[in-house]
Structure 1
Amino acid sequence: MELRINASKWRRKRGVSRLLDALGADQGLTRFVGGAVRDDLLNLPVSDVDLATRLKPEEVVERLEAAKIRAVPTGIDHGTITAVSSGSPFEITSLRRDVSTDGRRATVAFTDDWQEDAARRDFTINALSADPVTGDIYDYFDGKEDLLARRVRFIGDPLERIAEDHLRILRFFRFHARFGEGDPDPEALVACTSRANDLMALSRERIADEILKLLAVENPAATVKVMLDRDILRPVVPEIERPALARLESLVEAERKARMKPDPLRRLASLLPRDPEVSGQVAARLKLSNKARKRLACAASEEIPAKVRELAYYNGAECAADRLLLAGKADLAAGIAHWDAPKLPISGGMLIQRGLPKGPVVAKTLQAIERQWVVQDFPQGAEFERIVDQALLSTRG
């Protein structure tokens, strides 16, 4: 089967046509590249459209400015310009080759050779490019064959590619979880297993980003199993052990039953011991945001009160949904996930108006009212007034 993109359809995307005209696409100077091409060939939604060009970065900027297209030098030292065309952003990168690598970053030089640029990409399915005029696909490493076979394969020697950028270990498993079918490529699997300790040289932010992207895949359980069997994560997150796989599988099923989107942070919580202190240590090591750290700690607790809205009121609906899904209570989770907690219908000033003297007694009484209001499932009207009257009577003695 001949694979190609619908060039006319792509040109109809907002801002694309004028951008291609500015960058000489009809002269063979610029092509669509990377994930956008791959996803289109798989009939998946295409969000970000990236382009590669034989033009040097300075020429790209000159041409964009001449066409009155905003040019943002987001990574100009590495050849990347972000063009804002008709309000839409596009990443444009000059063709490059690696001069040197150290496992974390590369020193590059510019080239005008399409195959040389494609050769520095990680996987064959990511090295495809498309002619913006004809839609023809340029494939230098049998990426189309791998795409049809749903196979993720390194370009060249996997060990060499991993030595260039250690993050490719995690990227391999993420791409296999999303695009692969069956067992992972054997040669790649052996290389990733033997070099897993290389992950320790990477920044924890990059590791966290890749792990969360992997866990965001519709069902990453089979791939995570391979990673746990091969001890891929042990050098950086040793807290994730093989028994955790069953919790992840149960969570994926609970999310499906609740018709809730996959949530990578919740899935990470399923892989960690149900211990808030341990979750906090992992979150700190991975340099997650304070919000993410609190959520992991909250999800680590297995406490679920009889009335789940009480849990949501004190900890937030998101945390309540996490705990319920992790406990396999899909129906309850679906009902609480978007619950808006009501506001306590009384304030300290209103209690003072009812005769309560100013001072610490006001806050104490207000807290007693709130506790009883929550226990009784947030009554309003006459039922709430009875709670207030009872609290005032108790306070007055």
Structure 2
Amino acid sequence: MDRSPFPHHGPLRPEQVTGRESLAVDLAQRIADRRLTALVGPRRFGKTSLLKRVAADLAAVGPQPVWIDLYQLTSMADFAAAVDRGLASVVGPVRRALDSIAATVALRIGVLGVELTRSPKYRPDPVLSLRNLLGVLTSAAQRHDLFVVFDEFSGVANIQGGAGVLRTELQHHFQSLGIVFAGSEPSTMRALFSEQTQPFFAQADLVEIGPLSDAAVGHIVEDGFETTQRHTGGITSRIVAFAAGHPQRAMQLADALWRRVEPGETADMPAWEAALAEVRTNVNAASERIFSLLPTGQQKTLRAIAAGGSIYGAAASALELPPGSAQDAAEKLIGNGIVRRAQERLEVIDPLLADWLCRRFPI
């Protein structure tokens, strides 16, 4: 049985990442040039997948990656443990260098998470541990060509003093260690690098990862069907239009259609309608949950945007949405990564959430 060419659960393997070639080249060059870069974009837009591909491309010619996942940090101990896990995942000569350097400061890489769960009397100081771990990383960068990816970097905003410790330990090594910060909370990421009160103010270039082009989505869909001896029968345009450049949703829709087409056969409208119905059913509960957690003003604003991209038109009037409230709510929705500005209009980033809103609340 063929495996679907449209994986959409979790990050892709490096060789599966397509449609981002120019951005991949740009990021690789930034890392090689030691230019601090913050990659910003909505969730499920492929930031992690893209950076995994960049890491694989660079590792093939020399620079070795260190991947540190900062998702859902709640304490300095979480921060230190995340850095420890990142260093522990490194293999080969770089790992041997890390272990050798760590031994000089009485550290054992890979066990900090356990040590931090001990009773207070025997528990290591998480701030000191974090500083030591970062020192091990920067020392290893003097021996090997390294770069580090801080994934879900917006999690640092939850840790008082966390960004300050990171800046203090890294600031004298920006020329020897490539660094990329990636985050899915646009307002938090921009604040971390754009507000003067933040330790990393003006320290990194903000690079946006946007939707895939229609051409890129079309190519991915057509190629996936053709390589598994199937045909789209013109349904590609339906997927392209519905997905609106959203990478994960495009793959999800394509996968649902692909599973309804046998090898040698061609997709048709009934297959597309069945695929779309299945995907809609799968996302209904999550969409309801997202919507229910929003304040009333943001709910109304989101409905107005889904209905036509404007917060001042007929939809807003029907919802009794005052312009001032709508503007404030729209900014919060943008900051939370639910809505984005697209030229002269606003749009819901997730096309399936927008579709659910229109089906659930027809105006």
TM score, norm. by length of structure 1? 0.24
The TM-score with structure 2 as length reference comes to 0.25
* CA radius of gyration, larger in: 1
- Which structure has more relative contact order (CA 8 Å, sep 6+)? It is 2
